[in-house]
Structure 1
């Protein structure tokens, strides 16, 4: 009897060892992808049971859309933009609102989600663009811009002017990346890489290669082609990039090309020599997304000044010099 007990003990010990080895030796990732927020998403993660979380991720993205998509008429943000003061916003909206308020202050207004009316006017939003957008009209619309003109009180949005129009597109994709990441972490998934339209969040490492995740920073190609300027490694970091070389329109009268990033301080599409800004940080991807957009509205000089006390941000900027040659700048911690 004693022999059987000892033998059983060692058999169980052996089986536990096997199970333990199997749990830690997961080198085959789960890869899921789909469409969300007007672009594609790609998620790679390592899970003990190889669980496919596609349905759960898509459900989360639908919740975010129903909260903050200006392209859905029944979303909370669309109702608020239409003047509905009875909307009680959800926790997603609250978090994005509070982040936006903080980064608005930090960037001295270079990041401002109340710029929605101008985004629409220039033809980059869900509403019809205005024809012959002159200086007087831009000045009129600028009266509706300013995150200091809105506030969140008891779950409801208060606006100084009913016509103020929110547009969280410059932060929402990054936020969605964070929401997906938090979900995976709640499912005890420690190693993953999430990408939505170029906004990225990483945790742990690429177990298949036993090294940090590798991602690329794109060259600013205006011809629609794609190529990589720089490859970087990410581990427990987020990265977001903003550029003016892919989304742009051409004025049918003047033939002038103008980018989709609107400068909240001027009301006009951003006009500087910056082609793209990539931000890597230990903060949320939503933060990286917002900071990258804000810097795209700055001059290179002002972007450098802004970054002087932002040690939590690693930044890589591609710009054109006075001779039209492509140059790069990176922070000392990059």
Structure 2
């Protein structure tokens, strides 16, 4: 699903593989490390799950990715979301679409509109989506803002979508990848797997621990200022939680005539791309869809508002890398995130 556009900044130290062998198993005592790696949703994935015997769930993983694509990919013309975006009011969405819709509404309200999946019409217009890129100016932005606002859409009890204007365009790219990791985790939970580290495009869910090493799962967060060489900024332990990150430093466009830089994060309240002093934001939550959505929202806010959002929700932990007024790199961490750090 290539509509999941945001560049992810989490490097996985625990997922350094010696070879890209699909669904392989490695035994260490009574434990077997099962690994599945590949490409899906327009990105790569690495799934590690530990059990007492060798397992192969590749076909089931593929099925989960396919179902999510059919439901929420704006790059597949026959997907539910594509039909809805074209104005089809008869589409009955599946339970996954409904869960993403309802969670999006919740986070839209919690962030004061900074997380808004109806921003898709602007994503396309700025040239970061599957739709037609437009020449943007203040008048064009103001006109397109009439089609933005998650308070302008609803889902009925029978799972059909209503929009106050047919031009409203859904784009779940800032939550669907995290949701996909959650669905993979649910599948493994149902299979009785108690220890795993799942990553899709940099979004993570960790459960239990790395029993082969008898330690917690270790995850590294990339330094956003390293353009060509991946270097970790911080390293953390993860257990029974999820993490997602977002950054603007590698995903942008340059106007060939003016040289102006347009980052891919769009402020849903103003309609313009967001050039802020925040380089990258990482959010830890109980589920990856929530972490994914909030990481996007933090990038659209200013630093003060981002801190307020993290401090107001005890279920969220966060890490923000930003530039101060002098242009020096600074870091902000919630107290809970500090406890995750590996010194």
TM-score (norm 1): 0.90
Runs of 4+ in 1 over 6 A off after TM superposition: none
- The answer to whether 1:303 aligns with 2:306 is yes
For residue 305 of structure 1, report the CA deviation from its aligned partner. Answer: 1.6
Q: Which residue of 2 aligns with 1:245?
A: 249
For residue 27 of structure 1, report the CA deviation from its aligned partner. Answer: 2.9
- Larger helix proportion, structure 1 or 2? 1
What pairs with 1:233-312 in structure 2 (closer than 5 Å)? 233-281=237-285, 283-312=286-315
- The answer to whether 1:85 aligns with 2:89 is yes
Distance 1:32 1:24, change over 3 A: closer
Return the alpha-carbon distance in structure 1 between the equivalents of residues 254 and 229 of structure 2.
Answer: 19
Q: Which residue of 1 aligns with 2:149?
A: 146
Helix, strand or coil for the counterpart of 2:106? helix
TM-score (norm 2): 0.88
Q: Which residue of the other structure, out of 324, 330, 334, is the alignment partner of 2:333?
A: 330
Over aligned residues, Cα RMSD in angstroms?
Answer: 1.4
Helix, strand or coil for the counterpart of 2:227? coil
Q: Which residue of 2 aligns with 1:135?
A: 138
Count how many residue pairs are aligned between Structure 1 and Structure 2: 310
Measured against aligned partners, the alpha-carbon deviations of 1:64-100 in whole angstroms (never above 9, x if no partner) come to 0010000100000000000001100001100000000
For residue 37 of structure 1, report the CA deviation from its aligned partner. Answer: 1.4
Contact 2:244 2:283 in 1 (8 A): yes
Instruction: Say which structure, 1 or 2, has more relative contact order (CA 8 Å, 6+ apart).
Output: 2
Measured against aligned partners, the alpha-carbon deviations of 1:41-82 in whole angstroms (never above 9, x if no partner) come to 000011233111111101110100010000100000000000
Q: Which residue of the other structure, out of 185, 191, 197, is the alignment partner of 2:201?
A: 197
Q: Which residues of structure 2 form unaligned runs of 5+? A: 1-26, 338-343
Return the alpha-carbon distance in structure 1 between the equivalents of residues 228 and 60 of structure 2.
Answer: 33
Return the alpha-carbon distance in structure 2 between the equivalents of residues 161 and 56 of structure 1.
Answer: 38
Higher Cα Rg, which structure:
1
For residue 225 of structure 1, report the CA deviation from its aligned partner. Answer: 3.0
Q: Which residue of 2 aligns with 1:11?
A: none
Return the alpha-carbon distance in structure 2 between the equivalents of residues 92 and 171 of structure 1.
Answer: 12
Q: Which residue of 2 aligns with 1:183?
A: 187
With 284-293 and 26-35 compared, the bigger mean Cα shift is at 26-35
Contact 2:32 2:52 in 1 (8 A): no
Measured against aligned partners, the alpha-carbon deviations of 1:266-306 in whole angstroms (never above 9, x if no partner) come to 1111121001000112x210000001100111111111122
Q: Which residue of 2 aligns with 1:97?
A: 101
Helix, strand or coil for the counterpart of 2:97? helix
